[in-house]
Chain A
Amino acid sequence: MGKLVDDVVTQAEHASVKYVAKDFASDQEVRWCPGCGDYSILAQMQRIMPDMNIPREKIVFVSGIGCSSRFPYYMNTYGIHSIHGRATAIASGLKMARPDLMVWVITGDGDGLSIGGNHMIHLMRRNVDLNVVMFNNQIYGLTKGQYSPTSEFGKVTKSTPQGSIDYPFNPAALALGSSCAFVARTLDREPKHLQYVLKRAAEFKGTSYVEVYQNCNVFNDGAFFQFTEKETKDDSVVYLEHGKPLVFGKNKDKGIKLDGFSPVVVSLTDGMHSINDLLIHNEKDSTLAFIMANMTYNAALPRPVGIFQAIERPTYDGEMSKQIDATISKRGRGSLDKLFASGDTWMIQ
């Protein structure tokens, strides 16, 4: 970092106060529709922040455009509400310039997968140390209800009166296919799980990608109710927990086992299978992560939720700093006079 930035960073007197959640609420009035799932995500984020033990001024939220992307205005940290789809690229530049900061990207299914899809996959393969929270409501909220890249085939929206003929992305599989180091899915209506996943994402070094199923009660109400409402959720969701078998169901009476490479549902009460037959989740196994991500749109299987993969590898920003440090320690800090006079020079008397 340049001298002036170093001065700011080294001279900063960071308060040693213990934060509480409301220290992270800004003075801006929150303006999402009443009942919007975004409120819960904001609340859980503010709740986990004190546990991060990072001074508020060291945290930056960068977003694109969309309802979800209003998020940074409501966090009492540094923030950029940028342009549609580009938050990942802006945050990448920020993190490269300032590896000392904790940088979050807030994006939506349109912002992050449609207009910003290209930047997203490149961020993932590079593994810049950012935390991405993708609010998936399977709709374009801010522009008032067009289908999005995660809307289901056949979805009737304002722009698809006869049903969408686009096949949706499976964000977790896309992320894994893009070599994203940390890939997770959680739900706006499961605050404890949401908090857990956000915390894990924050602690993970490298690109962490968290897809949050988020209800847009105005334009796509109930898109995820099967996975969030009492009557159906237990039989429709399987939680991935590292080192544990994949058990689900109201009475924990069902599980997932592998039949070849295909996951299948088995009953734990019909006497044919026991818990020992079940697939054990392993966050460090990327092959397994693909198999579980691919359960996503399979109607015969419960929806996988949790941390698909968490495998650390060198970060882009870390490698960038390393190359610079190595060059400076080998050649010394550059001098302009030497640089100007390098190459073929000659004197005129």
Chain B
Amino acid sequence: MSVETKTLDEVTIRFAGDSGDGMQITGSQFTSTSAVMGNDLSTLPDYPAEIRAPQGTLGGVSGFQIHFGSTAINTPGDMCDVLVAMNAAALKVNLRGLVDGGVIIVNTDGFNDKNLRSAGYDESPLSNGSLSKYQVFPVDISKLTELALADMNLSSKVVDRTKNFFALGMMYWMFNRQVENTVEWLKMKFAKKPEIVESNIRVLKAGWNYAETVDIFTVRYDVKPAKLKAGRYRNLTGNSAVALGLVAAAEKAKLDLFLGSYPITPASEILHDLSGYKNFGVKTFQAEDEIAAIASAIGASFGGALAVTTTSGPGLALKTEAVGLAVMTELPLVIVNVQRGGPSTGLPTKTEQADLLQALYGRNGESPVPVLAASTPSDCFYMAFEAARIALKYMTPVFLLTDGYLGNGSEPWLVPTEAELPDISKPFRTNPENFQPYERDDETFAREWAIPGTPGLEHRIGGLEKKNKAGSISYDPENHDLMIRIRAEKVERIANDIPLAKVDGDESGDLLVIGWGGTYGAIRTAVEKRRADGKSVSHLHLKYINPMPKNIGEILPKFKKILVPEINLGQLIKVLREKFLVDAIGYNVVAGLPFKSTEIEQKIEELLGGL
């Protein structure tokens, strides 16, 4: 039988199995190989909340989705075209994310009575016709893996752990990619365990050969390389990007990086990554709680470090009072909030954008803090760097908002060089003459940074109101009013120092979609698709939320309607309405999931249809 090869512009596939089935490795290997082949791509892992949920249950399903193509890829994909399901639970959980007519490859061994029961199936979906609208390819992956390793004398546990590579091999065949990249990786990764290398390579090739020789697949797909900017690339998650951006900022500021943090999903990876960068002098402190974490960072900042604290929603709630102290003492500090589903413990492993108002307003007193938001995993690098730059230049705490989707998601990152990054160093005050701790720069309103160890600059700071310039305690009413305004003005002045907002698409028209944070990819894709259909719609994505770029007020009136999609009940929209008195329309779904570009497209259609 001849095999037909179809060329696709883009495709989304999802590997799903039990959390012990190695789906993350399978997915990241497919990603790495596709990247090397020059595809643009975006990925999203989907972990179960429980570390070890009972085997075969719905709660234990682990997934990895990759969207790759020869065109620009902005999201990990709304729906998948191909689903690899290693057991019944994986099928059940992921079926609703599969397009009609999509391909399902199942490991039939994962559909025995026990698996079916654990997944809550009364009868096997493979035989009752319920999958008739999909193309189903049942393969006894477990058995075939066993056969491939029959003469290696491995324990059944080891054999079982290898079966994911059989599935990977089949997918490599189906998408016309070679196994070499993964073979090299195995050799490097398990250099000290030749048995593991050998067994995995064998099974990987067995999967590839099986698909090649057995007449079950009639179509193969070709996804050509994308037109990417030339250079060296690396696949990077948002959390790793934040860590790199912070190290880069410390180097370019000629300061040591200090991180005070307390583990919390989905922010912990930043702590893990930074604790491995000791050769850059990075000091990481796993504190007893989030309060101690930020407090230690404030202490380090007083001592002249680039101080950072990283957390997620519940942790930020604990840090609140200390953020106020950093505002009052006017010390530089970067506060990273990798947002997750709330309120309270909420949905730890799910994504959300519901902490914006908390970052803007969630403190006692008039307590202005700059708020930045990263838009893609690799943008996390640049926004972390930018947060540090602003913190140091303006002597202020700065919030960087990312989210679980950005933090865990990854995309190719065009590796920069150190030389491309700006120098953000600023000498400490050392001259004791006429020193006043709260004297300000005329332009930025920043006070000077004078650190312990400097003779003649001994001074005390704290949370009590400061006398203007002198910095001593003051209960004077006029002084308090003045200081409140000075602190607010300092943050406002940052608007002079950030890029103007740029609209993607026409600069005027029927509809402007305004987003912030991790919804960038979904909105971008939706707007581009509608524009390709001739619709008058543009996209504006805010990376600076406080203060906002100075030209926002000029952009908004150029559009007839404004749509603000957010994964919250309408937080940015409140700010826009308040600042610009615009009658913006919200699109809000708070399901713990990233937006699908199609739902935003629908909303755009709905609004433009009514024009």
Which residues of A come within 8 Å of B, CB atoms?
1-5, 7-9, 11-15, 26, 28, 55-62, 65, 72-73, 75-83, 86, 89-98, 100-101, 118-119, 122, 320, 323-324, 327-328, 331-337, 339-341, 343-349
Contact = CB atoms under 8 A, between A and B. Distances in A.
A278 to B, nearest CB: 40
B418 interface: yes
A101 B452 contact: yes
Contact of B296 (A1, A65, A93, A332): A93
Given A1-B304, A83-B463, A97 B258 contact: yes
B452 A86 contact: no
Nearest to A121: B288
A93 B258 contact: yes
Nearest to A62: B299
B418 to A, nearest CB: 4
A18 B260 CA distance: 38
Contacts of B228: 348
22 contacts: A5-B304, A8-B428, A28-B472, A57-B453, A73-B473, A78-B458, A80-B460, A82-B462, A83-B322, A83-B325, A93-B298, A93-B299, A94-B299, A97-B299, A97-B305, A119-B295, A332-B279, A340-B417, A344-B235, A345-B234, A346-B232, A347-B233
Contact of B415 (A76, A79, A89, A340): A340
B455 A15 contact: yes
B430 interface: yes
Contacts of A4: 253-255, 304, 425, 427-428
B138 interface: no
Nearest to A13: B455
B462 A90 contact: no
Contact of B322 (A13, A86, A320): A86
Ordered nearest first, which 7 A-B pairs have the shortest CB separation? Answer: A93-B296, A81-B462, A93-B299, A94-B299, A89-B295, A97-B300, A2-B255
Interface centre among A2, A337, A343 (most CB of B within 10 A): A2
Contacts of B229: 348
A93 B451 CA distance: 14
Given A90-B299, A347-B232, A81 B454 contact: no
A323 B235 CA distance: 29
Nearest to A85: B291
Contacts of A336: 247-248, 251, 417-418, 421
Nearest to B472: A28
A82 B258 CA distance: 19
B136 interface: no
Q: Helix, strand, loop or mixed for chain B's interface?
A: mixed
Nearest to B281: A324
A41 B406 CA distance: 52
Interface string B320-334: 011011000100000
Interface of B: 32, 35-36, 38, 185, 225, 228-235, 244, 247-248, 250-251, 253-256, 258, 260, 277-283, 285, 287-289, 291-293, 295-307, 321-322, 324-325, 329, 415-418, 421, 425, 427-428, 430, 451-464, 472-473
A327 to B, nearest CB: 4
Contacts of B430: 8, 11
A12 B453 contact: yes
Interface centre among B35, B251, B255, B460 (most CB of A within 10 A): B460
Contact of B291 (A89, A96, A347): A89
Given A119-B288, A328-B279, A335-B418, A77 B254 contact: no
A339 B277 contact: yes
Contacts of A12: 453-455
Contacts of A328: 278-279, 281
A341 B234 CA distance: 7
B606 to A, nearest CB: 39
B72 to A, nearest CB: 13
Contacts of B428: 4-5, 8
Contact of B329 (A80, A341, A343, A346): A80
Given A80-B462, A334-B280, A93 B452 contact: no
B295 A56 contact: no
Given A5-B304, A82-B463, A83-B322, 8 more contacts: A2-B255, A2-B306, A92-B296, A96-B285, A98-B303, A320-B285, A339-B277, A347-B233
A90 to B, nearest CB: 4
A75 B459 CA distance: 9
Contacts of A324: 278, 281-283
